[in-house]
Amino acid sequence: MEINAAAKEYGNGIITSLKKNRRMLLMMLLFAVGMIFGAASVKKADGYLSGAFSDMFSVYINSKGTQSLGVNFINSLAVNAAFMLAVFVFGLCAVGLPLICVLPVIRGVGIGMLSGYFALRGLGYCALVIYPGLIPAVFALLLACSAGINSSYEMLLSLSSAKAQRGEGSIKIYCMRFLIICILVVIAAVTDAAASRLFCKLFGF
């Protein structure tokens, strides 16, 4: 009986945790769908598209390997900041929720294409150059999307009079969350630039 009670309590704890993090789980699912689609599009591309992908990624590899530490940092920061800005703005819109859900898919498609291209020829390159900065950047994006969805939903409720008007304190909390997330984005850009500087010279394609 004690074992059954403990198992039931453990199961209830997992369900409660999933409910509390359902927005984050949804963002992770959308990102995974985008990655799968991106990787599949590269593998199933015809000759013309395959050549186009090859040229595009060759330019990407060469640029990361030859650019300075500062330029790689700025480029990485600019890409991630663009996604953060889009999420932030959509989070302040009552109709921003579906638009926010599209962003993890778009990001996932791009990363999936990159991973699909290197699947058989550059796993070491991905592990040492791409993923160290990409993992915290994606985590920051998913956190931002989760916060943006919550904010957009609250905005929608306030406009529909189903909830009291949103106060300045709520918007300040939203901005503070994004400020913390942006610190993570900066860390991701520093990591990406450092990884490119240290390990790009080890690979030749």
DSSP of 82-115, one letter per residue? Answer: HHHHHHHHHHTSTT-HHHHHHHHHHHHHHHHHHH
Q: How confident is the model at residue 126 (pLDDT cuts 50, 70, 90)?
A: confident
Write the DSSP symbol of residue 105: H
pLDDT of residue 182: 93
Is residue 184 within 8 A of residue 136, CB to CB? The reply is yes
Give the model's pLDDT for residue 10. 42
pLDDT at 165 over 50: yes
Q: Is the pLDDT of residue 46 over 70?
A: no
The pLDDT of residue 43 is above 70: yes
pLDDT digits (tens, 9 = 90+) for 66-123: 888 899 999 999 999 999 999 999 999 988 999 999 999 999 998 888 887 776 556 7
Q: Average pLDDT of 179-204?
A: 90
* Strands (DSSP E) found in 118-177: none
Mean pLDDT of the chain: 82
Task: pLDDT band for 193, please (50, 70, 90 cuts).
Answer: very high
In eight-state DSSP terms, residue 200 is G
Distance CA 117, CA 111 (A): 10
| pLDDT in the model for residue 103 | 95
What's this model's pTM, rounded to 2 decimal places? Answer: 0.82
User: pLDDT over 90 for what percent of the chain?
Assistant: 42
- Answer whether residue 136 shows pLDDT above 60: yes
Q: What pLDDT is recorded for position 161?
A: 63
Q: How many C-beta neighbours within 10 Å does residue 4 have?
A: 8
Closest CA to 43 of 105, 98, 106, 118: 118
pLDDT at 138 over 80: yes
Q: Please say if the pLDDT value at position 177 is more than 50.
A: yes
pLDDT exceeds cutoff 60 at 11: no
Q: Mean pLDDT over residues 42-58, rounded?
A: 69
